[in-house]
């Protein structure tokens, strides 16, 4: 999961994004013009790296690589994601993301090649999006099933943002996860983030997670930190560090 999305409760399905849209909503970059590099390290041994280009022409895209350790029954999971997106109109954007994943599931190697697609509507004070994940059917062993995510984000004076998202299995109207987030963007080159998400019917404990983050922003170089606090016995706090370089 991307750093800023984790800091805001997995709630940015309907938000404008840059590099993190590679892993979230592939339409998220369609309203930006940027060339940027980003890297994230999640303790103890997970990381991701990505590049996004939406300023060369009207068809923007990005490429990302990630590797995650100790994902439930998975010893590790890693893969590539390639996104392409474009505006359909002044307020609508569309994007697709192809992905190739590999994992070790209790000593058994398994893989997946699939496709996500997403739409984003961008208004003056709000944005909204929908993402269809694993259109080819997915792979349950890789924790990649066919899903639908919907979400929205509201802003006040481009300073205070509130977001919410719901994530459901394909064909089900009842979400297995709901997330809420907030972000304050200061004129003094930093932002503060917070979020809460809860899961239901995924595992018997129905866990919930509080999260928080801070970013130090500049036109070229930004630094990010996020922490997620599982409300479940035996689970440790997750820490993430990230940086973004824009051109």
pLDDT of residue 237: 93
Task: Give the pLDDT of residue 26.
Answer: 96
Segments of the chain assigned E as strands: 35-42, 46-53, 60-71, 74-87, 92-105, 108-122, 126-139, 144-156, 160-169, 177-186, 190-199, 208-216, 221-230, 238-246
**Per-residue pLDDT, 205:** 64
CB atoms inside a 10 Å sphere around CB 204: 6
- What gap in Å lies between CA 128 and CA 229, rounded to an integer? 27
Q: Which residues of the chain have pLDDT under 50?
A: none
Residue 91, SS3 per DSSP = coil
Sign of CA dihedral 75, 80, 86, 88: negative
pLDDT at 107: 78
pLDDT of res. 216: 97
Give the H or E element holding residue 3. Answer: helix 3-7
- 233-245 residue pLDDT tens: 778 899 999 999 9
């Amino acid at each position: 999961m991307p750093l800023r999305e984790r800091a805001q409760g997995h709630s940015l399905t309907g938000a404008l994004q840059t590099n993190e849209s590679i892993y979230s909503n592939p339409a998220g970059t369609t309203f930006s013009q940027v060339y940027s590099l980003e890297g994230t390290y999640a303790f103890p041994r997970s990381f991701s790296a990505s590049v996004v280009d939406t300023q060369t022409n009207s068809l923007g895209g990005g490429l990302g690589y990630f590797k995650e350790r100790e994902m439930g029954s998975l010893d590790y999971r890693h893969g590539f994601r390639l996104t392409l997106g474009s505006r359909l109109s002044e307020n609508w954007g569309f994007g697709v993301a192809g992905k190739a994943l590999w994992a070790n599931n209790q000593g058994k190697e398994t893989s997946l090649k699939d496709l996500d697609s997403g739409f984003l509507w961008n208004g003056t004070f709000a944005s909204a999006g929908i993402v269809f994940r694993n259109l080819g059917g997915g792979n349950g062993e890789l924790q990649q099933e066919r899903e639908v995510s919907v979400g929205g984000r509201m802003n006040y004076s481009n300073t205070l943002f509130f977001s919410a998202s719901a994530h459901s299995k394909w064909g089900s109207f009842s979400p297995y996860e709901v997330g809420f987030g907030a972000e304050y963007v200061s004129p003094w080159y930093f932002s503060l983030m917070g979020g809460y998400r809860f899961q239901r019917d995924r595992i018997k404990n129905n866990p919930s997670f509080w999260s928080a983050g801070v970013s130090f922003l500049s036109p070229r170089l930004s630094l990010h930190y996020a922490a997620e606090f599982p409300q479940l016995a035996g689970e440790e706090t997750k820490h993430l560090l990230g940086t973004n370089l824009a051109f």
